[in-house]
């Protein structure tokens, strides 16, 4: 029996109708279906600050500590200083069986295709058919009589049918499709979908195809009995009969001139088959970690009791800290049994099984001098568990709670945010004044631009002064005590958000193909938020001629290939519930018409905004508009809208306001803003009052004889001019930085990452607060690949943008890939050190094979194979993160993050480094944690 090989859509995204998703698959093998095997997670990342790959030293357990085990009763609260339960989630892999069977139905006249799966879940068969004479790979919906009960049509090309158990004791979920072999259907196509995880199971990167006629070619995704000499193989007698039929057919052909194609298409030689494949499903499992702290009345020491219901061998990687900087240290003995020292920076303790219940735990005895207890859980070499993206933290003084430690509002955080914001304003004013005063800058900037920059300086100064005044407590004379002071809030600007934003692009070029992308993204909302993202960019929501949404038609029709109007509202609400802001992708430059004019040209619009050809610019010959000339570059695939028309601006402002109110969008990603003047953008943003806005000003960089020029000032100047035209109300994607990173990393020319004045060479070097940095998006990467980032260099690119000023944007495909853990840890370093859109960069090295910089005197980073060692002096360093970034055919490079503790002196030419820097421990910079 031939085995079916199922491939992941994530690995080979060629499915025409379904979204990309993460699936786990196993090669063909025999399988005992009587039970499900639970497999350890094979991929993961060390989330703590240390790399678990060194020789360790065994530490003997203290007898006094051993005596404590079993004597810690946490049921009494008299002497409990702290007690809490941490919920954690982990991933288990469950293996099952997936089968396909074709045989005759009970009446022996029709045939029946059965698809089943032994794993629990909400399994859906996403399927369609192709007919005789069809060309290409598009599906059609099957006849209504062929659709099993409970089937739901998906657009006009597929059917979704749920798999169900035939009885309570049955281990298989399955669905049966009956069909008449004499119909015009040539093949049945399908994929299997698990709605619980969003995974799609394919056949060799394509949909499964079951041919119902004997002449279809095997294009790699065909399943069923194999053919020999153009017919289906089977038993020897069947094969002999086929040969006899072939000879008879040959004799008949001598009497007839030629068999017609229609007659050939009718010939079928169906043969039943049964094929199966083992598959693996990722299952999210919830567990608890309970921690209690008490003070021993006999010894005066602090005792920490840690227990968990996580099964298997669990190792606690732990340490203590002396202040709220949470810098790991090794405490003095005694230690629990089975404890080892790791790199002289932390301890590892294997949890011991409890006598009752499926639990394990350990007791830790600590001196009173310690401020907090830090730990992460190690399940295996690649699987580590944290709490909400951070190390578990337990206060030892009983003065804090878990909510205080992880993101809830408190006065310290608010004061830090305000100081970081005002410091950033001052730095930006300095940058603007420096740029304005330079001789070269004055030559290249018009008088209007200079005046606009001066206005920006005045606005920033006013903001800084306002925050300064609001931070001064005024005590009226009549108030003697208990005076309340108002803490300043962080200023929000549509061009920057809070200044600490990290943007996630929440889709790729293929996301529309499922028809249910909104619901699939909703399931990932908590996961995306937990990685540290604060803003998410959703795809274009409107009805569109192109399925991706970038050829909008009726702007008020929000039923798109990504989902329905109600599903979009539900998704936005879910994202808000996990604390994320949501950007809508709005296409204002062009719009597809509903009707032709008297000359047969498509330039008359329908729907709620039923504009005529006055709304179309006059200088695009393709669409014969009667408006004014365009204020930018024309997009020739659709009518370009004339934003100089007052009725157009009025309607668009009302539409944006409707999206804000009805859907709940917090801001905008503005498509193809090169097509119209930035002043119109300013008008739209002031009317819709977004939390954050970014424009796509895409322009070609400068090249000489095919090689990118080092000086890209003219390119970034055009982007800065557009931002300036919006009066700074919007940021812009830093295409300059992306292009320069391409050449620097691909050609090992890291000197390109510094301009002639020693600043970053992109928009981030001139106007960092308005630069949205990125390395990939749906156009450049995904399946389009118009300008794909150098392969194997992605993490170097993210090490750059996630440690530098500007607002970094991360592409969806990279988040849900093997880069995920490295990206999450880089985001964590950025957040812990308060790096923001106005942070200062000091480039310390930009040579052929190495680039290094220090940001805000807190974080130092290095990329490239060359040598760099950070200055030691009075600074202190320690390893915080380690991950690998490989390039095919070259030696591996390491990405390394460091935090303050000891001077690091083991850099070698193979390291790429990001270093977390602080001054002396008694002079910790505000905002670093």
What lies within 8 Å, CB to CB, of 474 at 6+ separation is: none
Measured distance CA(688)–CA(652) in Å, rounded = 10
667-670/581-586 β-pairing: parallel
CA angle in degrees (0–180, nearest 5) for 619-622-626: 45
Measured distance CA(405)–CA(395) in Å, rounded = 9
Could you tell me the two tokens for 372? 């907090």
Q: How many CB atoms neighbour CB 437 within 10 A?
A: 9
Closest among 852, 725, 831, 837 to 772, alpha carbons compared: 837
Q: How far is CA 656 from the centre of its chain?
A: 26
Catalytic: which of 671, 713, 776, 885? 671
Instruction: Give the end-to-end CA distance of the chain in Å, rounded to a whole number.
Output: 60
Measured distance CA(744)–CA(752) in Å, rounded = 6
Angle between helices 735-746 and 713-725 (to 10 degrees): 160
Measured distance CA(38)–CA(30) in Å, rounded = 16
Measured distance CA(429)–CA(755) in Å, rounded = 20
What lies within 8 Å, CB to CB, of 281 at 6+ separation is: 24, 93, 94, 95, 96, 119, 121, 194, 197, 199
Token pair 């719009």: residue? 591
Closest among 445, 499, 474, 895 to 713, alpha carbons compared: 445
Measured distance CA(310)–CA(312) in Å, rounded = 7
Could you tell me the two tokens for 294? 């008490």
Question: Phi and psi for 243 in degrees, rounded to 5?
Answer: -60, -40
Closest among 501, 591, 520 to 561, alpha carbons compared: 520
Is 95 annotated in the active site?
no
Question: Phi and psi for 758 in degrees, rounded to 5?
Answer: 75, 25
- The answer to whether the CB of 561 falls within 8 A of the CB of 513 is yes
Catalytic: which of 696, 749, 856, 916? 696
Question: Phi and psi for 213 in degrees, rounded to 5?
Answer: -130, 160
- The answer to whether the CB of 833 falls within 8 A of the CB of 798 is no
Measured distance CA(922)–CA(492) in Å, rounded = 32
Helix segments in 802-857, DSSP class H: 812-815, 820-832
Measured distance CA(764)–CA(430) in Å, rounded = 15
- HSE-CB at 811 with a 13 A cutoff on CA atoms is 25
Closest among 720, 649, 748, 732 to 694, alpha carbons compared: 732
* Per-residue H/E/C for 109-137: CCEEEEEEECCCCCEEEEEEEEECCCCCC
Sign of the CA dihedral running 899, 901, 903, 905: negative
The length of the chain is: 929
Using alpha carbons, list the distances in angstroms from residue 422 to 65, 147, 416, 794, 838: 50, 64, 10, 33, 10
Could you tell me the two tokens for 853? 């910089």
Is 696 annotated in the active site?
yes
Helix segments in 131-233, DSSP class H: none
- The answer to whether the CB of 928 falls within 8 A of the CB of 920 is no
Closest among 102, 78, 137 to 234, alpha carbons compared: 102
Measured distance CA(292)–CA(81) in Å, rounded = 8
Measured distance CA(313)–CA(330) in Å, rounded = 23
Using alpha carbons, list the distances in angstroms from residue 320 to 338, 345, 373, 577: 18, 10, 5, 34
Residues classed as catalytic: 671, 696
């Amino acid at each position: 029996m031939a085995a079916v090989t199922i491939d992941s859509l994530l690995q080979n995204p060629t499915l025409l109708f379904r979204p990309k998703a993460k699936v786990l698959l196993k090669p063909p093998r025999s399988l005992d279906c009587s039970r499900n095997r639970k497999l350890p997670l094979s991929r993961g990342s060390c989330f703590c600050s240390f790399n678990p790959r060194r020789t360790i030293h065994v530490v003997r357990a203290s007898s006094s500590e051993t005596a404590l085990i079993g004597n810690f009763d946490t049921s009494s609260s008299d002497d409990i200083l702290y007690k809490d339960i941490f919920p954690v989630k982990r991933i288990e892999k469950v293996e099952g069986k997936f089968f396909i069977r074709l045989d005759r139905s009970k009446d022996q006249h029709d045939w029946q295709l059965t698809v089943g799966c032994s794993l629990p879940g909400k399994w859906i068969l996403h399927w369609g058919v192709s007919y005789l004479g069809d060309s290409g790979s598009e599906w059609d919906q099957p006849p209504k009589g062929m659709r099993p009960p409970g089937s739901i049509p998906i657009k006009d090309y597929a059917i979704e049918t749920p798999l169900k158990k035939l009885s309570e004791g049955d281990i298989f979920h399955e669905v049966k499709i009956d069909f008449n072999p004499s119909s015009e259907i040539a093949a049945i196509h399908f994929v299997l979908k698990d709605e619980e995880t969003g995974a799609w199971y394919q056949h060799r990167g394509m949909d499964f195809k079951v041919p119902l006629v004997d002449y279809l070619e095997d294009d790699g995704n065909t399943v069923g009995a194999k053919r020999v000499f153009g017919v289906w193989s089977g038993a020897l007698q069947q094969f002999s009969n086929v040969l006899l039929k072939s000879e008879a057919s040959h004799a008949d052909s001598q009497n007839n001139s030629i068999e017609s194609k229609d007659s050939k298409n009718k010939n079928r030689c169906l043969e039943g088959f049964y094929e199966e494949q083992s598959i693996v499903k990722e299952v999210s499992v919830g567990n608890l970690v309970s921690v209690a702290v008490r003070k021993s009345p006999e010894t005066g020491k602090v005792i920490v009791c840690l227990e968990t219901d996580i099964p298997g061998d669990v190792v606690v990687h732990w340490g203590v800290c002396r202040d709220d900087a949470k810098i790991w240290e090794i405490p003095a003995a005694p230690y629990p049994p089975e404890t080892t020292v790791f790199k002289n920076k932390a301890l590892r303790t294997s949890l011991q099984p409890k006598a009752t219940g499926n639990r394990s735990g350990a007791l830790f005895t600590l001196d009173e001098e310690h401020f907090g207890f830090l730990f992460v859980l190690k399940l295996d070499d690649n699987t580590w568990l944290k709490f909400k993206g951070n190390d578990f933290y337990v206060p030892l003084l009983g003065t804090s709670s878990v909510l205080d430690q992880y993101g809830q509002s408190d006065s310290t955080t608010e004061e830090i945010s305000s100081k970081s914001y005002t410091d950033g304003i001052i730095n930006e004013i300095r940058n603007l004044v420096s740029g304005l005063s330079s001789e070269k800058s004055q030559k290249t900037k018009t008088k209007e631009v200079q005046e606009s920059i001066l206005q920006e300086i005045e606005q920033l100064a006013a903001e800084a002064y306002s925050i300064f005044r609001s931070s001064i407590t005024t005590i009226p004379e009549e108030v003697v005590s208990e005076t309340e002071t108002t803490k300043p809030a962080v200023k929000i600007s549509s061009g920057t958000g809070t200044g600490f934003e990290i943007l996630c692009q929440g889709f790729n070029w293929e996301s529309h193909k499922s028809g249910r992308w909104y619901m699939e993204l909703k399931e990932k909302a908590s996961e995306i938020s937990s990685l540290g993202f604060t803003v998410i960019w959703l795809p274009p929501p409107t009805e569109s001629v192109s399925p991706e949404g970038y050829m909008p038609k009726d702007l008020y029709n929000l039923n798109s290939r990504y989902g329905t109007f109600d599903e979009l509202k539900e998704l936005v609400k879910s994202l808000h519930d996990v604390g994320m802001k949501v950007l809508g992708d709005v296409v204002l430059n062009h719009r597809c018409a509903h009707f032709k004019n008297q000359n047969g040209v498509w330039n008359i619009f329908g729907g709620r905004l039923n504009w005529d050809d006055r709304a179309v610019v006059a200088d695009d010959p393709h669409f014969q508009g009667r408006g004014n000339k365009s204020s930018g570059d024309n997009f020739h695939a659709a009518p370009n809208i004339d934003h100089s028309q007052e009725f157009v601006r009025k309607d668009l402002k009302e539409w944006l306001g409707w999206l804000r109110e009805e859907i709940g969008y917090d801001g905008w990603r503005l498509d193809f803003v090169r097509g119209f003047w930035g002043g119109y953008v300013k008008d739209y943003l002031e009317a819709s009052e977004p939390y954050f806005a970014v424009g796509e000003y895409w322009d070609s960089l400068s090249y000489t004889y095919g090689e990118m020029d080092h000086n890209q000032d003219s390119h970034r100047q055009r982007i800065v001019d557009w931002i300036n035209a919006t009066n700074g109300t919007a940021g812009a994607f830093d295409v300059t930085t992306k292009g320069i990173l391409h050449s620097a990393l691909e050609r090992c020319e890291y000197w390109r990452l510094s301009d002639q004045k020693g600043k970053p060479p992109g928009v981030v070097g001139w106007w960092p607060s308005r630069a949205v940095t990125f390395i990939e998006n749906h156009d450049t990467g995904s399946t389009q690949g118009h300008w794909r980032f150098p392969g194997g260099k992605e993490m170097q690119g993210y090490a750059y943008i996630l440690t530098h000023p500007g607002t970094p944007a991360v592409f969806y495909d990279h988040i849900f890939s093997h880069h995920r853990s490295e990206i999450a840890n880089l985001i964590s370093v950025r957040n812990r050190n308060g790096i923001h859109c106005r942070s200062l960069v000091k480039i310390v090295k930009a040579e052929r094979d190495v680039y290094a910089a220090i940001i805000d005197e807190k974080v130092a980073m290095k990329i490239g194979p060359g040598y760099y060692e950070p200055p030691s002096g009075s600074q202190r360093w320690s390893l915080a993160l380690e991950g690998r970034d490989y390039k095919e055919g070259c030696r591996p490079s390491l990405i390394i993050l460091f935090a303050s503790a000891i001077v690091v002196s083991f850099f070698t030419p193979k390291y790429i480094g990001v270093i977390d820097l602080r001054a002396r421990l008694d002079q910790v910079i505000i905002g670093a944690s």
